Amino acid sequence: MLATLFDKLVGATLVVLNLLAPVEVHVDTNRAYAAGSEHQADIYRPNSSVPSPVLVFLYGGGWRSGSKADVAYVGAAFARRGFVVVIPEYRHFPAASLSDILADNAAAVAWAIGHASEFGGDPRRVVVAGHSSGAWAAAMLGLDATWLERAGSSPEDLAGIVGLAGPYATSALTDPLDKQVFAGADPAMQPINHAVGRHPALLLLSGAEDQDVRPTGTVALANRLQAGDEPPQTHIYPGLGHGQIVRSLSFPFSVQAPTADDVARFAAGAHTAP
């Protein structure tokens, strides 16, 4: 009973935060990054007279669901911190394949880099962040050059990658429906299989109590990347579950863990190579 009431309170709080987002900061909605109604993005902008760092945020939803509107509170929270935030919509499984999802997100990121200066962003300071399946996509774009190159860009154009509760290896998944998404998929669709060579700076975050995407996947990817030129930064937050880690990016949930501070610090300091 108490758990149900708590879940309802959390849901109601998120609804309010999402409704307040356009009031708190300037928002440009439904900007097309490619042809088609599924290929639109919302842009949250701070009040700044100088080019701001850009955060492209890819929402989660088990590859099967989700919406940019669900994480408006993330856009507002980071715009208040001085970031331009781009949150794209993209197609979902099973109508879209994993390749389609990556192609959509790559197109959105390439568009954000190419148009950053038009909405007050610095194209040399673009960081891609994501939660859950969005973290999977962010990691794939940063570690496998295939996708951004097809979109006319490159991982070298990214200042950094941030993954929150990312399923970087299918072994970290616990939900049978999530596992079904990868049934018969090429192993190349797992970020952990691209943990070699040069890549953007990475910040990998997970909750110790995550029962949906076990933090073992985050640790495994971090360990694979340790041998590289730029080992990732990693934080495992005690007490946080799968949904809590993304909610902790905004007040009042930010009191649970310093997730927002860690992401902001990393993204503010990230730059592409000269």
Please report the pLDDT score of residue 228 as a whole number. Answer: 67
Please report the pLDDT score of residue 28 as a whole number. Answer: 95
Please report the pLDDT score of residue 231 as a whole number. Answer: 87
Instruction: Report how far residue 34's alpha carbon sits from residue 27's, in angstroms, rounded to the nearest whole number.
Output: 19
Burial of 232 (0-12, 13-18, 19+ CB in 10 A): buried
| DSSP per-residue string spanning 153-221 | --GGG-SEEEEES---SGGGB--HHHHHHTTT--GGGSGGGG-SS---EEEEEEETT-SSB-THHHHHH
- The pTM score is 0.94
The CATH topology of domain 26-269 is: Rossmann fold (3.40.50)
Relative to beta strand 233-237, strand 201-207 is parallel
Instruction: Report how far residue 199's alpha carbon sits from residue 168's, in angstroms, rounded to the nearest whole number.
Output: 15
Please report the pLDDT score of residue 37 as a whole number. Answer: 87
Residue type, 216: T
Instruction: Report how far residue 33's alpha carbon sits from residue 88's, in angstroms, rounded to the nearest whole number.
Output: 8
Please report the pLDDT score of residue 214 as a whole number. Answer: 97
Instruction: Report how far residue 190's alpha carbon sits from residue 221's, in angstroms, rounded to the nearest whole number.
Output: 10
Please report the pLDDT score of residue 2 as a whole number. Answer: 43
CA angle 75, 78, 82 (to 5 degrees): 125
Q: Computed from CA positions of residues 122, 125, 131, 132, in that sequence, does the dihedral angle turn out positive or negative?
A: positive
Please report the pLDDT score of residue 5 as a whole number. Answer: 54
Q: What is the pLDDT along the chain (274 residues), one digit of tens a residue?
A: 444 555 566 777 777 777 767 667 899 999 999 998 899 999 999 988 889 999 999 999 999 999 999 999 999 999 999 999 999 999 999 999 999 999 999 999 999 999 999 999 999 999 999 999 999 999 999 999 999 999 999 999 999 999 999 999 999 999 999 999 999 999 999 999 999 888 999 999 999 999 999 999 999 999 999 876 678 999 999 999 999 999 999 988 899 999 999 999 999 999 887 6
